[in-house]
């Protein structure tokens, strides 16, 4: 097979197989396999991770539904439990 005509970005598909042994050695085969099996790649989560990061940062700046007083009360209740 002549690899000289391939784009550099597609070379990582050469000889590639899924964990079940399915040939996914081209971009097209890979896409079809992913669609057929319902699998996805990490880049599908880029927006999800960005949104989660914004939510974490907001939580750290503004607090969440659990206050420091709630945590302190829970610790005190746990300290008051007898050990059996």
- The pLDDT tens digits of the residues spanning 35-74 come to 999 999 888 888 999 999 999 998 888 877 788 899 999 9
For residues 27 and 54, state if they share a domain: no
How far CA 55 is from CA of 1, 5, 49, 51, in Å, comes to 49, 45, 10, 6
d(CA 30, CA 22): 9
Domain count, the chain: 2
Say whether both 37 and 51 belong to one domain.
no
Domain co-membership, 18 together with 32: yes
34, 53: one domain:
no
| Residue 35 shares a structural domain with residue 49 | no
Residue-number span of the structural domain to which 70 is assigned = 44-80
Residue 29 above 90 pLDDT? yes
């Amino acid at each position: 097979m002549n690899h000289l005509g391939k784009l550099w970005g597609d070379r990582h598909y050469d000889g590639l197989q899924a964990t079940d042994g399915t040939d996914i050695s081209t971009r097209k085969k890979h896409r079809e396999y992913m669609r057929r099996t319902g699998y996805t790649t990490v880049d599908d989560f880029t927006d999800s991770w960005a949104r989660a990061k914004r939510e974490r940062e907001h939580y750290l700046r503004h607090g969440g539904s659990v206050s420091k007083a709630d945590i302190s009360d829970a610790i005190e209740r746990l300290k008051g439990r007898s050990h059996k």
